[in-house]
Amino acid sequence: METSDEKLVIAMPKGRIFNESLQLFRQAGYPVSEEMMEGSRKLIVEVPEESLSFLLVKPMDVPTYVEHGVADLGVAGKDVLMEENREVYEILDLKISACRISVAGMSDWKPVLNPKVATKYPRIADRYFREKGQQVEVVRLNGSVELAPIIGLADRIVDIVSTGRTLQENGLVELEKIASITSRLIANRSSYRLKSGWMDRLCERLDGLVNGRGNVV
Ligand code: PRP
């Protein structure tokens, strides 16, 4: 499936990295409308002046829209890319929403045989412990993962740590860092060829902004 030749379609992640992503496009000179900034319920937002169309989707779904070609580009956290492992090109590190994905446990944790690991990232957790040669049982959750070791659902968690507040306020400590995370601009493989001029211009503007190289608009 391909998007129309007339415009670029960009999948944007709703949620915690949305505002930072939007801000970046605005700073790069794209007149992103107020309706996107102010919590509207619209899921498709057009920017006709720039022939852009934004799809507002769940962060974990961004690579799916891009892989299937219903979006030419997308903004996705490296955590999502590591978990989803989709056939897309990662074309620019946007250097926003920096955080890390780590293993954490209760401050008084003790090693146990075949520990249970609660996480929203079952593939990342599975791969990490397999590469370390440790056998674990992964318990998949959709959020509030820090609760799991407190109430005995899991011995450890694999989750995003940003400020560290959630861990701290729940009596957990970070044990091992798995990877540093930032948001990336990703592209559909055929759009990248077919709309290369267009994408290059957008990429140049964002790259100039992100890496501080002069004028971006
Ligand atoms: C994320 C993550 C941690 C928290 C980390 O959760 O899963 O729980 O943020 O941030 P901190 O280190 O700044 O406290 P999110 O807010 O996305 O909600 P969730 O628990 O529903 O996934």
Domain of 114: which CATH number? 3.40.190.10
The answer to whether 17 and 25 are in contact (CB under 8 A) is no
**Residue 216 reports pLDDT greater than 50:** no
Q: Calculate how far, in angstroms, residue 199's C-alpha sits from the geometric centre of ligand 1.
A: 32
pTM to 2 decimal places? 0.92
**Residue 35 reports pLDDT greater than 70:** no
Specify if 217 maps to a domain: no
Determine which residue's CA is closest to atom 21 belonging to ligand 1: 143
Residues 91 and 122 in one domain: no
The residue segments making up the domain with residue 114 are 99-180
Ligand 1: residues within 6 Å at CB?
A: 16, 143-146, 159-166
Specify if 1 maps to a domain: no
What per-residue confidence (pLDDT) applies to 19? 86
What per-residue confidence (pLDDT) applies to 40? 73
Determine which residue's CA is closest to atom 3 belonging to ligand 1: 160
Query: What confidence tier does 215 reach under pLDDT thresholds 50, 70, 90?
Result: very low
Specify if 2 maps to a domain: no
pLDDT 10s digits, 150-165: 999 999 999 999 999 9
pLDDT 10s digits, 74-127: 999 999 999 999 999 999 999 999 999 999 999 998 889 999 999 999 999 999
Residues 201 and 175 in one domain: no
Q: Calculate how far, in angstroms, residue 72's C-alpha sits from the geometric centre of ligand 1.
A: 28
Query: What confidence tier does 37 reach under pLDDT thresholds 50, 70, 90?
Result: low
- Number of structural domains (the chain) is 2
What per-residue confidence (pLDDT) applies to 38? 63
